[in-house]
Amino acid sequence: MYEDLNNKVAVVTGGSKGIGKSIAKRFGEEHMSVVINYHSDPDGANDAVNLIQTSGGKAVAVQADISQEQGANDLLQAALDNYGKLDIWVNNAGMENRVATNEMSLEVWQRVIDVNLTGVFLGSKTALNYFVKNNRPGNIINMSSVHEQIPWPGFAHYAASKGGVKLFNETIAMEYANKGIRVNAIGPGAINTPINAEKFADKQQLNDTLEMVPMKKIGDPEDVAAAAAWLASDQSKYVTGVTLFVDGGMTLYPSFQNGKG
């Protein structure tokens, strides 16, 4: 628990399931007030609201498409209407699908870029504009991936979007560092969420994934939420522009693990 997070106000995009829901729940345990954004799963979002309220935080669920500027504006407005301020904005929403690049339609490419990269831009822009105009310190957390660094055949749009998030994150961290605004990313590895449910249900695919993780285990969404809470808190007050990998060592060239080569 981080005492300085008490009564802080956060927006979490894509908070109805997976990592976003886990971050929302952790923020509730920190007694924060949370705007939980959902795209198409009101039940998941309402469940997240209940989890937060049960653990002593405040929460409201708001439908919005984060790839649209109006969506980001609606989330800020909900924070201001319900809680009177904004302290932390978590750009978590994301999507992926496997398509060979030579067969990838422009629509499929564009949708992943729109949600994973443009959504991060729109959320960040909205939060930054509020912090700057109101002369307030602020904190932005962008959900990147190990694939901001590791190429991923079949997921060129996803890897391109996360590579874009990496430099966007670093650039705005530098641009606003002297205004008391911190911007950091989290790079999850293989985490047990709905995005991976089918893959991890298949024993062969699960074992293939574990081969790529030096710690030989799949991460929990709570591991990512713990990183988000630390980055949101003052305990990380001298940290900006980093990607904090939460990946069991996946970015450490696991094929070298046994001293091979």
Least Å from the CB of residue 20 to ligand NAD: 5
The DSSP bridge partners found for residue 7 are: none
Least Å from the CB of residue 218 to ligand NAD: 8
* Known catalytic residue at 158: yes
What does the DSSP assignment read for 40-94? S-HHHHHHHHHHHHHTT-EEEEEE--TTSHHHHHHHHHHHHHHHS---EEEE---
The DSSP bridge partners found for residue 141 are: 90, 184
Q: What order do you get walking across the sheet with 58-63 strand by strand? A: 58-63, 33-38, 9-12, 88-91, 138-143, 181-188, 243-246
Q: Toward ligand NAD, which CB reaches closer, 120 or 172?
A: 120
Q: Which residue has the tokens 């994150």?
A: 169
Q: Tell me, what amino acid is at 98? A: R
Least Å from the CB of residue 2 to ligand NAD: 22
DSSP reduced 3-state for 216: coil
Burial of 256 (0-12, 13-18, 19+ CB in 10 A): exposed
Q: Toward ligand NAD, which CB reaches closer, 7 or 230?
A: 230
Least Å from the CB of residue 29 to ligand NAD: 18
| Assigned token pair, 168 | 């966007």
Least Å from the CB of residue 17 to ligand NAD: 4
Active-site residue (options: 38, 83, 130, 158): 158
Q: Toward ligand NAD, which CB reaches closer, 4 or 43?
A: 43
Q: Toward ligand NAD, which CB reaches closer, 162 or 182?
A: 162
Distance CA 215, CA 205 (A): 17
Distance CA 226, CA 179 (A): 26
Q: Toward ligand NAD, which CB reaches closer, 40 or 102?
A: 40
- Which residues are near ligand NAD by CB under 6 A? 13-14, 16-20, 37-41, 65-67, 92-95, 115, 143, 145, 188, 190-191, 193-196
Catalytic residues: 158
